[in-house]
A and B are shown apart, each in its own frame.
Chain A
């Protein structure tokens, strides 16, 4: 009797599965991403909107917590043939992926699935970062940002500075006066912010991080930091640090640079434009602030800054149906209203000219809390230089970590700047040569 009961229960369960299946007839495909917290919630909203907008595909969006984890997990999944269809990869992992045989170029994907996308509509600085040197776009631009500098306006007013400093000389002047006026921490400085303090400095001054246009010309590029203007800049940073005008703030020290800024303890900080929204929400009562493009050295013409953030890659080894779904998803992302929504709720910039123009026309950037975000786009769309296309260097995560160590050794252990940067170049070259050997015989078009 009992076994009969079990049998019928099993049959009922099977029947239910069959009944339920037609509703799931839509092609499912996975999208893995590296954002968490509030940004992850927004991506989930985006996925729901996409799924509700049509009935042919169902995107399943999975957070892997951060960019590093997402890259590691995607690689592990790919090697086990369990990869998602779409994955979000940040700058430092781009070159490995480009050289691998693991992806379908986005332009090809969209062409094959019958979507007409105006690729020239994407900001050139963003498109070039994710393209081959011949201009073939490989991944879908998604969450883009760039570095900017934030000022406490009350502190600026107190030292009698009108507007915002545009050169580092002015920053030094302002910082010195702030110190004299009783501000303990004029500028918050975190050496682990190599992205804003080093890479973006090189970009807007058109200085080479490596030869061959930062590696765009080939895998045989060599580091060139110790021969450029960053020697002077780091020497200056060291001077500012020793005088207590730049104050060390980091997670390890108990307070990050950004926290020190929004709490009103430090008056100047440099960070991503993506933090613009966060600052608006977190700034303490009575802390007034504004944002500006990164300052320049005297006598330099500003070139475009590097794009930060990540892009979406379509991985090989999936079915034609899943690729159709991915293409439909990219097409959905490219819609102006979707781009505008994403840019509004996160602080990332719109990635297309038309998206930006539409938002500008609507008056989005005219008033708080969004006023100032347009400066990131201005910074990204300055004239390009030989060294401003992006960074295409192998093992870049390791090279970036070496730069953090280099800055720390100069600040904390008084290693002379020329020696520290010469060591950095040597170390970077070792990493590059190793990378070149790993991909022997491969080259990017």
Chain B
């Protein structure tokens, strides 16, 4: 029988994990509890006092048609950016994995976008997409008025989503490439010998084998598109035009910091938090089962 070393002292283990617990409490549970408290009160920004209002803040946001607009928009935003970012990253990773000419170089340069801070990318993309002076705007010289994200909400949303997807490609690429390279060459080679073309091998062999990675990335991308889009939107469109690029996290930022409605923003963050927790839960509970692990 194997003998394991263990501590007889009942206090010592707690002492050893105490720093960790303390950190989690201070940096996670304390702010969350604060937000939770504000969500049930009407908080005066300068701290002059507050009143307990039960679920009024939640009822107020659920009654607001514009709020449901931001929820719907966030959902579309999450699905499209995730899909776009992951499919581009997978394609690039598949090419690099095939060891074509210059692979080593591409391996590094595809990762670079991830190192760029969202607001910096936002500023750059704003210039690229500017209808009057930008690179993309030059199609207006051919078809006047066809591209104008400053007045067309759908175009503005597309612009932000492209930029968000672009930022995520590097991150997704690393994981996909690592996963693809973990697959033994012999499997792929065997498939090739059986006459499977690269696309078929990707579909039938590689994709199932990297499913756990893809699943992990899917969750990370969805969460990131719900929570990290704010820096990008703030620099690119500030939620406009007509609030058509306002997603949940941007509305929280605006209502809380600019509108000084701390309680409304807190209630919205609780909703967003529950939504992200819920999505993650559903994904792990239902999707994970269908993912093939070795």
Determine if B46 and A97 form an interchain contact, defined as CB atoms under 8 angstroms apart.
Answer: yes
Complex CA gap A100/B50 in Å reads: 12
Contacts of B241 in A (CB 8 A): 191, 252, 408, 412
- A66 CB to closest chain B CB, in angstroms? 11
Q: How far is the CB of B268 from chain A (nearest CB, A)?
A: 13
Alpha-carbon gap, A397 to B261, bound state (A)? 10
B130 to chain A, nearest CB (A): 3
Q: Is the CB of A437 within 8 A of B42?
A: yes
Q: Which of B46, B64, B127, B236 contacts A102 (CB 8 A)?
A: B46
Contacts of A191 in B (CB 8 A): 241
Chain A residues 402 to 423 lying within 8 A of chain B, measured CB to CB, are 404-405, 408-409, 411-413
Q: Does A401 contact B (CB under 8 A)?
A: yes
Cβ–Cβ contact A252 & B133, under 8 A: no
B170 to chain A: which residues have CB within 8 Å?
none
A60 to chain B, nearest CB (A): 23
**Chain A contacts for B126, CB-based, 8 A:** 252
Of the candidates B50, B131, B257, B263, which one forms a contact with A253 in the assembled complex, judged by CB atoms under 8 Å apart? B131
How far does the alpha carbon of A301 sit from the alpha carbon of B254 in the complex, in Å?
38
Q: Mark B140-154, 1 if CB is under 8 A from A, else 0.
A: 000000001111110
Q: A398: which of B42, B53, B261 is its contact (CB, 8 Å)?
A: B261
- Contacting B137 at CB < 8 Å: which of A250, A254, A404? A254
Instruction: Determine if B151 and A411 form an interchain contact, defined as CB atoms under 8 angstroms apart.
Output: yes
Asked if A172 CB lies within 8 Å of chain B CBs, one says no
The answer to whether the Cβ of B103 comes within 8 Å of any Cβ in the partner chain is no
B-binding segment of A71-79, A193-201, A331-339, A352-360: A71-79
Cβ–Cβ < 8 Å partners of B137 in chain A = 254
Nearest-neighbour CB distance to chain B for A246, whole angstroms, equals 13
Chain A residues lying within 8 Å of B43, measured Cβ to Cβ, are: 438
Residues of chain B with a CB closer than 8 A to A72's CB: 257
- Interface flags, A35-59, vs B, CB<8A=1, else 0: 0000000000000000000000000
Q: Is the CB of A248 within 8 A of B150?
A: yes
B131 touches A100 (CB 8 A): no
Q: Which residue of A lies closest to B64 (CB)?
A: A430
B150 A252 Cβ-Cβ under 8 A: yes
Cβ contacts B144-180/A at 8 Å (1 or 0 each):
0000111111001000000000000000000000000
Proximity string of chain B (35-48) to chain A, C-beta cutoff 8 Å, 1 when within and 0 when not:
00000001111111
Whether B130 lies near A253 (C-beta < 8 A) is yes
A residues less than 8 Å from B260 (CB atoms): 71, 75, 93, 96, 395, 397
Judged by a CB distance under 8 angstroms, whether A440 is at the interface is yes
In the complex formed, the residue of B with least CB distance to A252 is B150
Give A192 to B241 CA distance when docked, in angstroms. Answer: 10
Contact B48 A253 (CB under 8 A): no
A252 touches B149 (CB 8 A): yes
| Complex alpha-carbon distance, A437 and B106, angstroms | 58
- Given the interface pairs A68-B258, A409-B242, the reply to whether A254 lies near B130 with Cβ below 8 Å is yes
Q: What is the CA–CA distance of A200 and B181 in the complex, to the nearest angstrom? A: 64
The secondary-structure label for the interface of chain B is loop
* Alpha-carbon distance A68/B238, docked complex (angstroms): 14
| Residues of B contacting A401 in the complex (Cβ-Cβ under 8 angstroms) | 254, 258-259
Q: For A408, what are the chain B residues with a Cβ–Cβ distance below 8 Å? A: 151, 240-242
Do A412 and B242 touch (CB < 8 A)? Answer: yes
Determine whether B51 belongs to the interface, using a CB cutoff of 8 Å to chain A. Answer: yes
Interface residues of A in 87-137 (CB under 8 A from B): 93, 96-97, 99-102
CA distance A412 to B131 in the complex (A): 15
How close is B138's CB to chain A, nearest CB, in angstroms?
A: 11
With a cutoff of 8 Å between Cβ atoms, the chain B residues found around residue A411 in the complex are 151
Q: Are B258 and A397 in contact (CB under 8 A)?
A: yes
Q: Chain A, 133-148, contact with B by CB distance < 8 Å: what is the 0/1 string?
A: 0000000000000000
> Which residues from chain B contact A437 at a C-beta distance below 8 Å?
42, 51, 53
Q: Could you give, for residues 112-142 of chain B, a 1 whenever the CB lies within 8 Å of some chain A CB and a 0 otherwise?
A: 0000000000000011001111100100000
Q: How far is the CA of A72 from the CA of B257 in the complex (A)?
A: 7
Chain B's closest residue to A265 (CB) is B132
Q: Say whether B192 faces chain A, with CB atoms less than 8 Å apart.
A: no
- Can you list, as one digit per residue, whether each of A244-259 has a CB less than 8 Å from chain B (1) or not (0)? 0000101011110000
A: which residues have CB within 8 A of B? Answer: 68, 71-72, 75, 78-79, 93, 96-97, 99-102, 191-192, 248, 250, 252-255, 395, 397-398, 401, 404-405, 408-409, 411-413, 430-431, 434, 437-440, 442
Q: Which 5 residue pairs across A and B have the least CB separation, nearest first?
A: A254-B130, A100-B46, A252-B150, A254-B132, A398-B259
B residues within 8 Å of A by Cβ? 42-48, 50-51, 53, 60, 64, 126-127, 130-134, 137, 148-153, 156, 236-238, 240-243, 254-255, 257-261, 263-264
What are 18 A-B residue pairs whose CB atoms fall within 8 Å in the complex?
Answer: A75-B47, A78-B46, A99-B44, A100-B47, A101-B48, A102-B47, A102-B48, A252-B149, A252-B238, A253-B132, A254-B150, A401-B259, A405-B240, A412-B151, A412-B153, A412-B241, A430-B60, A442-B48
